[in-house]
Amino acid sequence: MCGIVGVTGAVGAAGVVYKRLKLLEYRGYDSAGIASMLDGRFYICKRRGRVYSIGGDIKRLHGDTAIGHTRWATHGAPSDANAHPHIAGRFALVHNGIIENYAALKEKYFSGVEFASQTDSEVVVRLLDLFYEGDALAAVAKTVSLLVGSYALVIMCADFDGLIVTKKANPAIIGYGDGASYCASDAPALAGLCSEITVLGDGDIAALTAGRVEFYDGNLHVICREKIANPAVSTELDLHGCPHYMLKEIREVPSSIIRTCDAYTCASDGLSDYLNGVERIIIVGCGTAYNSGLVGKRYFEAFAGIPTEVETAGEFRYKQPIINGRTAVIAISQSGETADTVEAAKLVKGLGGKVIAVTNSPYSELTRIADAVVPVEAGQEICVAATKSYTGQITALYMLSLTLAGMDTQTGAKKLYETAELAKGIIERTDIGAFADTCARSDGVYFLGRDLDYAVATEGSLKLKEISYVPSEGYPAGELKHGTLALIDIRTASVVIITDPALAPKSENAVEQILSRRGKVLVVTNVKDTLQRTEGKADVLEIPVCDKYLSPLLSAVVVQLLAYKTALLLGRDPDKPRNLAKSVTVE
């Protein structure tokens, strides 16, 4: 969702920004740009494409102050002209977010003026220059007071020897280093460089000079902001010998389960207070987070007997939800930044409900809003497609449901440990690639299952389509005959997940129906009878027997690896799928 970074007081600032920008590419990779400043003069390079495409230009970007941007296009196509930074007069800036009233501002202040780009961001830099009367901070305060929408801005002014950073609804952090001051979209970009950071709040304005940072509110009154230890460590950014972050992160699924389980045990004190008297649960999230919510729903209903609904956060916001003091809303988000999920949480708070955040990002917007936080300890997830955070979310929801049900969480933790061990075995298997070849050649891939297996089917389908671009859907197995079967022919593949012996014969019916229409089938199962009945008819992948409710943690690894291998066969970059970005901070 655009990554921004800046430094002042560092020799070779553009080189520093370039290196850090690469760590933010998961936020968008449509274009990249850096501007530096020396003696009041700007030097700039920007281009459509990934960050490496500007690597050759760094040496001509002089000065010890620089800003950089990696873009996920919203307003204006990916192009050189629309790449950031944008410059107007004595100002240069990079922007993450959307200025919703940019057209009105353009009309009001720049009627008849030809803009250099089609971006909403350009109006901001032009306003800064328009309002500038010798005080850069005053120009920033006046400009942002007119903006509607979301933004994190890093600004250079030719007359100010440093950077100005401000934000609303999009993240920005400040970092402290050896005589230099830094800023970035998030903490991992400064891992290994800044051991201490400050997380900016909405409306804060930070003035960064070499080795000094001052904070102001929107009226330019000095305010205090605390420093915290940078939670991101640079070793998490190593690929550890893996060709892609996606594979590295799938390999980290077992540790994500174990660490999340351990973190829950430490953080669960007080959760019962928030959950006391809860009669209804609504889970909200987007994409993979929504899919993990489908698994969570089963836990809350099966263990705690509490009626639970799962809603995509974007829909929930606009349907006048009915919330009261006995409704708990569980907002799931890896990044804690997703605009729809954050806004859904705010809406609930406004209606007097309780919000419990399940998130991998302890200093995010979502944690600030929530009444209670259940941590996901997946570690930094860099691949755009979520993998280890999905299994971390399921782990957190499982533990939370046990607490709600008044069940023994230690027994639950033991089961999770055992399941994490079984997941390790699946990750090492090489036979998953065989069906990837079938998927890569298919016109469509359908993921089917019943109950918890259906929940994983939705995630398998999302994973496959987003990184391989093969059309895919996830269906309840029983729905097949109500329409989807019309799509099945020799050019389609289906993945049928069967982990519940009680439901196995029903799901096997779906296998038979597909086979009789000459569709290719992979059965992912740990049910012995299913193995016997389907072997020889369909491709079969046996996974270990485990606690019925934790089987999603194993079948998830299979569908993640299947998607990864399919993407590789089709020559896709699994870490950076087209058109997508991690952390969707716009609506």
Backbone torsion region of residue 149, taken as left when φ is above 0, otherwise alpha when ψ lies between -120 and 50, otherwise beta: left
* Distance (Å) of CA 476 to CA 171, 381, 491, 513, 524: 38, 29, 21, 14, 15
Backbone torsion region of residue 28, taken as left when φ is above 0, otherwise alpha when ψ lies between -120 and 50, otherwise beta: left
Give me the least distance between CB of 183 and ligand F6R, in Å please.
21
Asked if residue 286 binds ligand F6R (CB under 6 A), the reply is yes
Question: Using the rule CB under 6 A, which residue among 65, 150, 288, 438 binds ligand F6R?
Answer: 288
Kindly tell me which of 9 and 287 has the beta carbon lying closer to ligand F6R.
287
Asked if residue 386 binds ligand F6R (CB under 6 A), the reply is yes
Asked if residue 333 binds ligand F6R (CB under 6 A), the reply is yes
Kindly tell me which of 187 and 584 has the beta carbon lying closer to ligand F6R.
584
Find the part of the chain contacting ligand F6R (CB under 6 A) among 302-310, 333-341, 498-506, 509-517. Answer: 333-341
Which amino acid, one-letter code, is at 119? Answer: T
Find the part of the chain contacting ligand F6R (CB under 6 A) among 270-278, 282-290, 515-523, 528-536. Answer: 282-290
Which amino acid, one-letter code, is at 280? Answer: R
In the set 2, 157, 183, 383, the catalytic residue is: 2
Kindly tell me which of 85 and 552 has the beta carbon lying closer to ligand F6R.
552
Give me the least distance between CB of 289 and ligand F6R, in Å please.
4
Find the part of the chain contacting ligand F6R (CB under 6 A) among 36-44, 286-294, 412-420, 515-523. Answer: 286-294
Beta strands in 186-307 (DSSP E): 196-199, 205-209, 212-216, 222-223, 228-229, 280-285
> Are the C-beta atoms of 131 and 105 separated by less than 8 Å?
no
Asked if residue 169 binds ligand F6R (CB under 6 A), the reply is no
Kindly tell me which of 287 and 444 has the beta carbon lying closer to ligand F6R.
287
> Of 89, 85, 88, 126, which Cα lies nearest the Cα of 108?
126
CA torsion, ordered 188, 192, 197, 199, to nearest 10 deg: 0
> Are the C-beta atoms of 494 and 484 separated by less than 8 Å?
no
Q: What would the x/- binding string for ligand F6R be over residues 449 to 468, using CB under 6 A?
A: -------------x---x--
SS3 helix, strand, coil % of the chain, rounded to 5?
Answer: 40, 25, 35
6: β partners: 67, 183
Q: How many alpha carbons lie under 13 Å from residue 370 in its C-beta half-sphere?
A: 29
Helix (H, G, I), strand (E, B) or coil at 377: coil
Q: Is 272 exposed, middle or buried (0-12, 13-18, 19+ CB in 10 A)?
A: exposed
Judged by CB under 6 A, the chain residues 508 through 567 that form the site for ligand F6R are none
Give me the least distance between CB of 190 and ligand F6R, in Å please.
20
Kindly tell me which of 256 and 583 has the beta carbon lying closer to ligand F6R.
583
Asked if residue 170 binds ligand F6R (CB under 6 A), the reply is no
Which amino acid, one-letter code, is at 333? Answer: S
Backbone torsion region of residue 89, taken as left when φ is above 0, otherwise alpha when ψ lies between -120 and 50, otherwise beta: left
Find the part of the chain contacting ligand F6R (CB under 6 A) among 28-36, 156-164, 281-289, 484-492. Answer: 281-289
* Residue in the shown chain whose Cβ atom is closest to ligand F6R: 287
Asked if residue 374 binds ligand F6R (CB under 6 A), the reply is no
Give me the least distance between CB of 577 and ligand F6R, in Å please.
9
In the set 388, 465, 576, 582, the catalytic residue is: 582
Instruction: Take residue 253 and report the two structure tokens written for it.
Output: 């699924």
> Binding residues for ligand F6R, how many (CB under 6 A)?
15
| Main-chain dihedrals φ then ψ at residue 119, nearest 5 degrees | -80, 155
Q: How far apart are CA 449 and CA 294, in angstroms?
A: 13
Instruction: Take residue 40 and report the two structure tokens written for it.
Output: 């009041």
Asked if residue 120 binds ligand F6R (CB under 6 A), the reply is no
Find the part of the chain contacting ligand F6R (CB under 6 A) among 61-69, 82-90, 335-343, 509-517. Answer: 335-343
Kindly tell me which of 312 and 509 has the beta carbon lying closer to ligand F6R.
312
Asked if residue 249 binds ligand F6R (CB under 6 A), the reply is no
Please indicate whether residue 582 is annotated as part of the active site. Answer: yes
Judged by CB under 6 A, the chain residues 465 through 484 that form the site for ligand F6R are 466
Find the part of the chain contacting ligand F6R (CB under 6 A) among 202-210, 284-292, 440-448, 528-536. Answer: 284-292
Asked if residue 584 binds ligand F6R (CB under 6 A), the reply is yes
For binding to ligand F6R (CB under 6 A), which residues are involved?
A: 286-289, 333-335, 338, 341, 385-386, 462, 466, 583-584
> Which are the catalytic amino acids?
2, 582
